[in-house]
Structure 1
Amino acid sequence: MANKVMFTETVLRDGQQSQIATRMPIEDMLPILETMDQAGFRALEMWGGATFDSCLRFLNEDPWERLRTIRSHIKNTKLQMLLRGQNLLGYRNYADDVVRAVVRKSIENGIDVVRVFDALNDVRNLKTSIEACKEAGGECQCAISYTTSPVHTVPYFVKLAKQMADFGADSICIKDMAGNLTPSDASDLVSGIKAEVTVPLEVHTHATAGIAEMTYLKSVEAGADIIDTCISSFSAGTSQPATESMHIALTGLGVETGLDLDKLSEIAEHFNGVRDKFRKSGVLNPKVKDTSPKALVYQVPGGMLSNLLSQLTEQGNADKYEEVLAEVPRVRADMGYPPLVTPLSQMVGTQALMNVISGERYKMIPKEIKDYVRGQYGAAPVAISDEIREKVIGDEQPITCRPADLIEPQLPKLCEEIADYARSEEDVLSYALFPQQARDFLGRREDPFYDVPEQTVKVSVL
């Protein structure tokens, strides 16, 4: 058992993203930020993921201003963001110049730790993000997209962790987005990585399947340096285990956490009120607090289970739910066992649904699946068979290079397109990431009743 473990608190990002679809506005965070800064966390995960899109699309907030505001209140604790490698905060590959600019500006505006991952664990898709983070003076944490399959073994992940460290990772994270990491596998995996890699190791899981606390215990026993938890108000179910509970349990076992329980209680009391507000409005669906052991049976994220059921119900095909679930692992095998994380989880789930509904496998094929088989998302963990490739893209030959090598620089054109609305370089990057949402937001900002401080930054090619 390690004698010390640090905590990353997720309520400002993944906790609320997992339970209320990232609808928490900055005003619900402000009153408690100083207390969070004094609680003893290693980091606060508070940006990236879906927060950027949600700020623009639903909350009428400038995501960059949110970052700067939180930074102004947090003086002692690291601020952390989640970045999807070459996909940044969106769902497609961006040119290297956009990736470098987003990473640099994130760090300039207050981010300390950039957790970067690739849905396929293709390290080529991490290269530019890692380099940009290091150049800007940030801490780059490379995340392994954890999954299970015949090829995703402990040696596979240990080799991947070593590659990430060789690429310049300052720390490694085992990112178990589906909550499928079992206690025994966690013990083996953490031990295996710690034996080969010297940088700190963090473990991130979800409580979806009901085993997360045991997974964290075995991870700490095996030498994990950091674990991700969420304050009790937004914990459990599709979120992370409760921060206070893990602190009390580990402290009782002689593990030093560095956390202040009185401060944690204050934080929980504040977010209990926030939670109750979202519960009353209906945004917080009680089902997100449920335990879903089927996530272990089918090896798919809990959110994917609920999304598939919702789609089928809307189509009047709820009776085909089990059939679609059984098709998911078959499609995943056909696709070379990609980890079921955004955007691959949505793609595989949609293809499985189409296979069942149409009555013929691969009779209907989404564009995203065709692009994936073409190699435009990166290399599949296992080569896709000629039979499946021909079904999906015919005689086309997949690309073998890093996908972003085929993308020309994008910033000059983006600056030109949004010149009438952009007041800062950050505005240009918002437009690069989410063109329609950013244009709408920046257009609303021109309204004289929308109070926003004037920016003096000259907009140019970043």
Structure 2
Amino acid sequence: MKKKIRFSLVYRDMWQSSGKFQPRKDQLARIAPVIIDMGCFARVETNGGAFEQVNLLAGENPNEAVRAFCKPFNEVGIQTHMLDRGLNALRMYPVPDDVRQLMYKVKKAQGTDITRIFCGLNDTRNIIPSIKWAKEAGMIPQATLCITTSPIHTAEYYSAIADELIAAGAEEICLKDMAGIGQPALLGKLTKLIKTNHPDIIIQYHGHSGPGLSMASVLEVCNNGADIIDTAIEPLSWGKVHPDIISVQSMLKNEGFDVPEINMNAYMQARALTQEFIDDWLGYFINPANKLMSSLLLGCGLPGGMMGSMMADLGGIYNAINKLRVKKGEAELSMDDMLVKLFNEVEYVWPRVGYPPLVTPFSQYTKNIALMNLLTIEQGKGRYVMMDDAMWGMILGKSGKIPGEIAPELKELAVKQKREFTDVDPHTLLDNALDGFRKEMKDNGWECGQDDEELFELAMHPEQYRIYKSGMAKKNFLADLQKAKDAKLGTKLSVEELAAFKHAKADALTAPVAGQVYYEFSGEGACEPCLEPFVGQRYKEGDTYCYIQAPWGEIVPIPAALGGKLVEVAAKQGAKVRRGDNLGWIERDQ
């Protein structure tokens, strides 16, 4: 018999890759014992990524949810693990050192054993400080290689990074195939290289199912020395999520590996509970497209988990592009035509911005550049006209070292716009911030919480935490849920929703995603207060009208349609909007 393979259930990421919400504390507490009864999991992913923001925005305390979910696993010796984004920790933009350091103390106290530390650029400077802080807090640091396929990202390239991270104290390595586009042969070769150089290092493979390579990749990494495989369970497995435990276990068992048996009665119970959570409320926020696999993802390399938001963004400029085409006497495009154009544009842009692995937030930045290019190309203005500071920050090196070379045209554009490239260590650009947040807690009469976990929540997710503490998060969430239920049941639209169709001579600008409206954006993840636009203000084709900061942190620029005169502002500065809400109306010049 071949070596023993262990399994991990990525229950948090199952939901994250399907929609932008998570089960409630009571639901997590109900399913944890059933997962234990399945008897096949050595590890369970209990938090990380957008888990905490979405819980806050649903009006629930994520610290209590993490503790409740971890406790049953801690008691039976099943290891718990979390995902953290290195420099960005648990959010979409950089986090000061003192807040990052506190995170590991808080998460260890809450019952999380292992932290999976990654940098979307594989810049070790963004990972190594977290390895040190995790070890100091008593956590197991699992350093991560973000897998993609490009001329630069060879097995030898990744193996050298693994060597550096292990020398810095990483006790495990995760191969994070976040888009599922890692070629099986490369993943097998990389696993063997790492195991040859570091035979005692645990290797865990995390591969999404999106384009369909993940099962072949699982077999390759196991045959070359991997120790642990991330899996999912129905009804959220496959699609843009992860392979199902039953299929993975069956394949590896028949290959001769020593794998644990599955208690199928418990599996069916966990399956039924997960479906119950979907039917209860989470299903209203799951994009049906995320249940489907798509080989189209192989070409553009985008992670399947962001397909939902990408389609919403594409819908936001779909009408604008077709109106331009009609104006020029050209045929309108279908949504499939637009999707292919977007994928092709991502393929064009990606090498020119230096092949950043397409994982949060760099997948969003690269997609946004491509999306805005589609509009400005249609306008006859060419590419790279509508890039905000966040997109430029990636290109200029402010988030870390770009793996490849930036294209000459972008270097020339940077010089023209007086932008400077940098190779500075990104975390040195940030000042410590805990003292200011501690003062805010005191001024508001808020408790810092057990093990300073409430202080941590404010410091890590300030916007979401303040809304949660105000009580508005729960009210807003319940309103969003009712609207989603009404839409699914075909309830008659309200007077407010019908207002979207007024102003016959004007184009209604609608929100492609839910979030908070800003009329200026400074980049580096920060939106700034400013004056709202005024009625009568004029816009040119392709100008940015506003920005929406989504609940999970992504910044989405909203183009001002075909330009013209602003006739009404529907969303105030800082307003919370839902997907489909009106932001304003712009009357085109006749």
Q: 1:372 aligned to 2:394? A: yes
Matched with 1:451 is none
TM-superposed CA distance for 1:134, in Å, is 0.4
Q: 1:431 aligned to 2:463? A: no
Alignment-mate amino acid for residue 64 of structure 2: E
Matched with 1:332 is 350
Matched with 1:457 is none
For the 8 Å contact 1:422–1:442, the answer to whether it is kept is no
User: Which runs of structure 2 are paired with 1:409-428 in the superposition (5 Å)?
Assistant: 409-419=432-442, 420-424=444-448, 425-428=452-455
Alignment-mate amino acid for residue 22 of structure 1: F
TM-superposed CA distance for 1:386, in Å, is 5.0
Q: 1:402 aligned to 2:425? A: yes
TM-superposed CA distance for 1:99, in Å, is 0.7
1:255-306 superposed Cα distances (whole Å, 9 cap, x missing partner): 2223433343432333243344458x53333321111001112222224445
Matched with 1:458 is none
Alignment TM-score, normalising by the size of structure 1: 0.91
Alignment-mate amino acid for residue 471 of structure 2: R
In structure 2, C-alpha distance between the alignment counterparts of 1:399 and 1:418, rounded to whole Å: 36
For 2:80, what is the secondary structure of its paired residue? strand
TM-superposed CA distance for 1:113, in Å, is 0.5
Structure 2 gaps, min length 5: 322-334, 475-590
Higher deviation after alignment, 372-381 or 116-125: 372-381
- The percent of aligned pairs where both chains have the same amino acid is 29
For 1:430, what is the secondary structure of its paired residue? helix
For 2:196, what is the secondary structure of its paired residue? helix
For the 8 Å contact 1:32–1:270, the answer to whether it is kept is yes
Alignment-mate amino acid for residue 150 of structure 2: S
Alignment-mate amino acid for residue 267 of structure 2: L
In structure 1, C-alpha distance between the alignment counterparts of 2:401 and 2:346, rounded to whole Å: 20
> How many aligned positions are there?
444
Higher deviation after alignment, 75-84 or 16-25: 16-25
| 129 and 187 in structure 1: CA distance in 2 versus 1, 3 angstrom threshold | same
For 1:234, what is the secondary structure of its paired residue? coil
Matched with 2:273 is 270
In structure 2, C-alpha distance between the alignment counterparts of 1:234 and 1:278, rounded to whole Å: 15
For the 8 Å contact 2:149–2:183, the answer to whether it is kept is no
For the 8 Å contact 2:287–2:308, the answer to whether it is kept is no
Matched with 1:233 is 235
Matched with 1:454 is none
TM-superposed CA distance for 1:215, in Å, is 1.5
In structure 2, C-alpha distance between the alignment counterparts of 1:426 and 1:354, rounded to whole Å: 39
In structure 2, C-alpha distance between the alignment counterparts of 1:351 and 1:370, rounded to whole Å: 10
TM-superposed CA distance for 1:392, in Å, is 3.4
TM-superposed CA distance for 1:385, in Å, is 4.3
Q: 1:69 aligned to 2:68? A: yes
For 2:44, what is the secondary structure of its paired residue? strand
In structure 2, C-alpha distance between the alignment counterparts of 1:440 and 1:446, rounded to whole Å: 5
Alignment TM-score, normalising by the size of structure 2: 0.72
For 2:235, what is the secondary structure of its paired residue? helix
Matched with 1:202 is 204
| 226 and 401 in structure 1: CA distance in 2 versus 1, 3 angstrom threshold | same
Q: 1:323 aligned to 2:321? A: no
| 336 and 2 in structure 1: CA distance in 2 versus 1, 3 angstrom threshold | farther
Higher deviation after alignment, 308-317 or 80-89: 308-317
TM-superposed CA distance for 1:50, in Å, is 1.0
| 438 and 255 in structure 1: CA distance in 2 versus 1, 3 angstrom threshold | same
User: Which runs of structure 2 are paired with 1:75-86 in the superposition (5 Å)?
Assistant: 75=75, 76-86=77-87
TM-superposed CA distance for 1:109, in Å, is 1.5
User: Which runs of structure 2 are paired with 1:165-244 in the superposition (5 Å)?
Assistant: 165-198=166-199, 199-244=201-246
In structure 2, C-alpha distance between the alignment counterparts of 1:35 and 1:320, rounded to whole Å: 44
In structure 2, C-alpha distance between the alignment counterparts of 1:186 and 1:286, rounded to whole Å: 30
TM-superposed CA distance for 1:446, in Å, is 13
In structure 2, C-alpha distance between the alignment counterparts of 1:54 and 1:396, rounded to whole Å: 35
TM-superposed CA distance for 1:29, in Å, is 2.1
For the 8 Å contact 1:161–1:197, the answer to whether it is kept is no
Structure 1 gaps, min length 5: 448-462
Matched with 1:33 is 32
TM-superposed CA distance for 1:110, in Å, is 0.9
TM-superposed CA distance for 1:254, in Å, is 2.5
Higher deviation after alignment, 153-162 or 257-266: 257-266
For the 8 Å contact 2:180–2:214, the answer to whether it is kept is yes
In structure 2, C-alpha distance between the alignment counterparts of 1:285 and 1:91, rounded to whole Å: 21
For 1:29, what is the secondary structure of its paired residue? helix
Higher deviation after alignment, 99-108 or 322-331: 322-331
| 216 and 160 in structure 1: CA distance in 2 versus 1, 3 angstrom threshold | same
For the 8 Å contact 1:96–1:404, the answer to whether it is kept is yes
In structure 2, C-alpha distance between the alignment counterparts of 1:388 and 1:104, rounded to whole Å: 42
| 324 and 260 in structure 1: CA distance in 2 versus 1, 3 angstrom threshold | closer
For 1:141, what is the secondary structure of its paired residue? strand
Alignment-mate amino acid for residue 447 of structure 2: R
For the 8 Å contact 2:203–2:228, the answer to whether it is kept is yes
In structure 1, C-alpha distance between the alignment counterparts of 2:261 and 2:445, rounded to whole Å: 44
User: Which runs of structure 2 are paired with 1:39-58 in the superposition (5 Å)?
Assistant: 39-58=39-58
TM-superposed CA distance for 1:421, in Å, is 4.5
Matched with 1:455 is none
RMSD: 2.1
Matched with 1:452 is none
Higher deviation after alignment, 263-272 or 137-146: 263-272
TM-superposed CA distance for 1:45, in Å, is 0.3
TM-superposed CA distance for 1:94, in Å, is 1.4
User: Which runs of structure 2 are paired with 1:131-150 in the superposition (5 Å)?
Assistant: 131-150=132-151
In structure 1, C-alpha distance between the alignment counterparts of 2:409 and 2:17, rounded to whole Å: 37
Alignment-mate amino acid for residue 121 of structure 1: N
For 2:285, what is the secondary structure of its paired residue? coil
Higher deviation after alignment, 92-101 or 29-38: 29-38
1:51-79 superposed Cα distances (whole Å, 9 cap, x missing partner): 01111012x21111111112332212111
For the 8 Å contact 2:128–2:165, the answer to whether it is kept is no
1:69-111 superposed Cα distances (whole Å, 9 cap, x missing partner): 1233221211111000010111111111111011111111111
In structure 2, C-alpha distance between the alignment counterparts of 1:271 and 1:307, rounded to whole Å: 23
Higher deviation after alignment, 133-142 or 102-111: 102-111
For the 8 Å contact 1:351–1:366, the answer to whether it is kept is no
For the 8 Å contact 1:119–1:145, the answer to whether it is kept is yes
In structure 2, C-alpha distance between the alignment counterparts of 1:274 and 1:79, rounded to whole Å: 22
